[in-house]
Structure 1
Amino acid sequence: MAPPFTPDRLAAILRAEGVNVIEFGQWRTHDRAGHGAWGPINGVIIHHTVTTGTASSVQLCHDGYAGLPGPLCHGVIAKNGDVYLISAGRANHAGAGDSDVLAAVVDERTTPAPNEQDTDGNARFYGFEAINLGDGADPWPDAQLDAIERVSAAICRAYGWSAASVIGHKEWTATKTDPRGFSMTTMRERVGRRLATGPGKPVPQPRFEPYPGDGFFRAYPRSPIVTAMGARLVAEGCSAYVSGPGPQFTGADLKAYAKWQRKQGHTGAAADGWPGRKTWDALRVPKV
């Protein structure tokens, strides 16, 4: 059993992981007590806000809106990496999700695609809302991704969990798409590397970009990862670019990557241009 942290403990473990914590209002007692269970805790869910602006986003997550009272998460992660704590108890962030996903999180194994809404996630997960429009174009600054990594690692470290206990909202329920614009697979790899070091200590960075996941590419992202991928495809003689490559994932990237897949010996559906982990690892895209 994993009981919830006290407010003091939650703030302390985040700060120990190097998070710049800002305690917002009466966050220690601001919760949805009396509207369902709070605990046992099984994991962390990452969200995006679909908003802009720090002050207004924090206030919205604190207050909620008509039909969904706040708090809407436990912490809001700003673009600059600051983390505003707005609750230490039950919050309206996860909603109903799939019991099979919860079982996988508890077992710390890969989660299945969610297809049910039969379990109360607000009782079982800490939730962090990262300020982002969630349109696939709004950038994710390094400081913000670092803070997502740190808050996730802090909670996992305190409970003795692995990075498999961190999921995106879209991995909890098929009714949501957040977070959009970065890969939860890559984020879990980052959390895993951080957990392998001491809290707050520098984390060795990989030489090559980890596989961002199939969903990353199918969202047609705009990212420096795409530029770096394209440069490697050109270097391997697999260019299909009239100009570029550039940060926006396009049909030209699909054609170029299909050439790389064929160069690796793949044919048919295995050479459709959508990057997979095996061919991605072989491409050795420099870390960006």
Structure 2
Amino acid sequence: MATPLTAAKFLAALRAEGVRVQEHGDWPHHNRNHKGPWGPVHGVMIHHTVTKGTDNTVKIVRDGYADLPGPLCHGMIAKNGVVHLIGYGRANHAGLGDDDVLRAVIAEKALPPDNEANTDGNRAFYGFECENLGDGKDPWPAEQLEAIEKVSAAICRAHGWTAASVIRHLDWQPGKVDPRGVDWTSMHSRIATRLKTKPGSGSSTTVYKVGRGDTLWSIAASKLGNGARYKEIAKLNGLKDADKLTPGQELKLPKK
């Protein structure tokens, strides 16, 4: 349990972690605080947007919809890894969720099934929307996954939380599936590993752009010296199907 960071400390924490940030308008004062409190905060919640195009997505999460006014998050993580700050304070991102899940987050224990919607999550979590169609097919570029890792670690570090304080929307609210396509076990491991290092520490990975005819095996063989390490690349990038690569797709590679 913690008092939310000030907007200035929030921004400083992200930048100290090496997050690429783009600020939009008067984001520190764009919120839904008139509808209820924000805080105490207990964790970070990750979502996907079901939208396409960064500019379009920024507008949607900032303004919201007629029946769900914005801001819909505090930051939007774009495909290229840039985090767009669009609001700060109470945001319409979490909705009602399970009180048992909240207690588990507070205790930093394993999460129970989210089978109830009886607790206000908008007051209790930092929220990040990720630019993705959410269809299970839209790829998650390496830069975007790294940004999820960094923003989560930045906030956990600022509050003294562990990676167990970072959850998905699907962990919180019954019927939700986001962020669909992200290997959450791998992401949790990445956040935990980052928290063991100093903020802003250099990454032990590089980024490779997929070419026509590339396979994970051929990439692992040429870039890592061992084709059998393709499984490491798949895990690092949250790839459930190692055979589906798209030319131009960017993959994060483990240390050689």
Shorter-chain TM-score category? 0.7 to 0.9
Aligned to 2:241: 226
For 1:5-57, what per-residue CA distance to the aligned partner results, in whole angstroms no more than 9, with x for missing partners?
A: 11111110000000011111110110001211210000000000000101110
Structure 2 CA distance for partners of 1:146 and 1:107, relative to 1, 3 Å:
same
Aligned to 2:3: 3
Structure 2 CA distance for partners of 1:211 and 1:2, relative to 1, 3 Å:
farther
Local SS of the residue matching 2:28: coil
Aligned to 1:255: none
Structure 2 CA distance for partners of 1:22 and 1:166, relative to 1, 3 Å:
same
* Cα distance in 2 between the residues matched to 1:171 and 1:117: 11
Give the letter for the 1:41 counterpart. Answer: V
Gaps of 5+ in 2: 206-228, 246-252
* Cα distance in 2 between the residues matched to 1:116 and 1:210: 37
Q: TM-score, normalised by structure 2?
A: 0.82
Aligned to 1:247: 244
Runs of 4+ in 1 over 6 A off after TM superposition: none
Q: Does the CA-based 8 Å contact 1:186-1:210 persist in structure 2?
A: no
Aligned to 2:70: 70
Gaps of 5+ in 1: 213-221, 228-245, 249-285
Local SS of the residue matching 1:126: strand
Higher strand share: 2
Q: Does the CA-based 8 Å contact 2:204-2:254 persist in structure 1?
A: no
Aligned to 2:93: 93
Aligned to 1:270: none
Greater gyration radius: 1
* Cα distance in 2 between the residues matched to 1:193 and 1:203: 11
Structure 2 CA distance for partners of 1:224 and 1:162, relative to 1, 3 Å:
closer
* Cα distance in 1 between the residues matched to 2:238 and 2:158: 33
Any residues of structure 2 matched to 1:9-158 within 5 Å, and which? Answer: 9-158=9-158
Q: Give how far 1:287 is off.
A: 6.2
Q: Give how far 1:182 is off.
A: 1.1
Q: Give how far 1:226 is off.
A: 3.1
* Cα distance in 2 between the residues matched to 1:94 and 1:171: 11
Higher relative CO (Cα under 8 Å, sequence separation at least 6) belongs to: 2
* Cα distance in 1 between the residues matched to 2:239 and 2:100: 35
2:167 paired with 1:167? yes
Aligned residues between the structures: 223
Q: Does the CA-based 8 Å contact 2:115-2:174 persist in structure 1?
A: yes
Local SS of the residue matching 2:46: strand
Q: Give how far 1:181 is off.
A: 0.8
Aligned-residue identity in percent = 56
Local SS of the residue matching 1:127: strand
Q: Does the CA-based 8 Å contact 1:186-1:211 persist in structure 2?
A: no
Q: Does the CA-based 8 Å contact 1:44-1:127 persist in structure 2?
A: yes
Structure 2 CA distance for partners of 1:65 and 1:82, relative to 1, 3 Å:
same
